[in-house]
């Protein structure tokens, strides 16, 4: 199963991953549109990433969520009715939404953020 692996100990919360993600998919630097989140409170860094666990799949009322051949959970935007059930029930809190979009945003383990992370805090497991 292909998925993004995080190492919070190495992360400095520079935010590069969020910028790369939103730039890749929405052509703009806007962390609100990224499919992962990095937060820092005092000295504690929290990285929120999709584990591709697939808990969201059974929740979808129109079966718009599915696992592809690599085990990555994908959204069929054609079918998605934008109910955001998956956003509310994601055990990792890693299903996101942005008000400019009627479908949720999620990580598909593309690895773009991995390439740009200056600290090596992200990797792709295959």
Partner 1 sequence: MNYNLKENHKLLTEFQYQPSKADKGYTNKSLYVNLSDNKIKEKEVTEMIKEKFIGGRGFGLWYLWNAVTPNTKWNDPENEIIISPGPVAGITQYPGSGKSLVVTLSPNTGTVVDSNVGGYFGPLLKFSGFDALEVQGKAENDVVVFIDGNKGIVTIEEAPEEAVDSHILAEQLTEIYSESEEDKKNISVVSAGTAAEHTTFGMLNFSFYDVRRKAVRLKQAGRGGIGTVLRDKKIKAVVVRFKGVKGDSNNPADFEKIAKTGVKLHKEICRLDDSQNRMRHNGTTFLAGIMNDYNLLPTENFRFGSHPDGKLLTAKEWIKYFDYNGKADGCWYGCTLGCAKVVCDFELTSGPYQGQKVVVDGPEYETIAAVGSNLGIFDKEYILEVNFYCDTYGIDTISFGTTTAFLMECYQNGIINKETTGGLELTFGNKEVALKLLHQMAKGEGFGKIAGLGIRKQKELFVKEYAADAEFLNDIGMECKGLEYAEYVSKESLVQQGGFGLANKGPQHDEAWLIFMDQVNNQLPTFEDKAEALHYFPMFRTWLGLVGMCKLVWNDIVPESNKDNEEPAKITEHVQNYVDLYNAVTGNNIDINGMLDQSEGVYQFQRVFNLRMGYGTREYDQVPYRSMGPVTLAEYQSLQEQYDAQLKELLGVEPEGKSSEEKMKLLRQYREGQYHKITDAVYERRGWTRNGIPTLETLKKFGMDFPELVEQVEKHQ
Q: How far is the CB of 85 from partner 1 (least distance, A)?
A: 5
- 3-class state of residue 8 by DSSP: coil
- C-beta closer to partner 1: residue 93 or 111: 93
Q: How far is the CB of 103 from partner 1 (least distance, A)?
A: 7
Question: Taking CB under 8 A as the rule, does residue 82 contact partner 1?
Answer: yes
d(CA 15, CA 123): 16
- C-beta closer to partner 1: residue 73 or 109: 73
Question: Taking CB under 8 A as the rule, does residue 59 contact partner 1?
Answer: yes
Sign of the dihedral defined by the CA atoms of residues 57, 61, 65, 66, in that order = positive
Closest CA to 106 of 95, 91, 114, 92: 95
Name residues contacting partner 1, limited to 16-55 (CB under 8 A).
55
d(CA 9, CA 47): 10
Q: Where along the sequence are the contacts to partner 1 (CB under 8 A)?
A: 55, 58-63, 80-85, 87-89, 97, 99, 102-103
């Amino acid at each position: 199963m292909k998925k993004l692996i995080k190492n919070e100990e190495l992360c400095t919360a520079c935010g590069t991953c969020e910028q790369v993600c939103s730039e890749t998919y929405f052509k703009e630097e806007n962390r609100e549109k990224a499919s992962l989140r990095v937060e820092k409170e005092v000295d504690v860094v929290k990285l929120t990433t999709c584990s591709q666990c697939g808990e969201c799949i059974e929740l979808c009322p129109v079966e718009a969520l599915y696992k592809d051949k690599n085990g990555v959970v994908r959204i069929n935007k054609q079918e998605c009715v934008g109910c955001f059930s998956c956003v509310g029930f994601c055990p990792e809190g890693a299903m996101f939404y942005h008000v400019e979009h009627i479908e949720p945003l999620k990580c598909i383990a593309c690895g773009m953020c991995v390439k740009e992370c200056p600290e090596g805090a992200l990797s792709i497991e295959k």
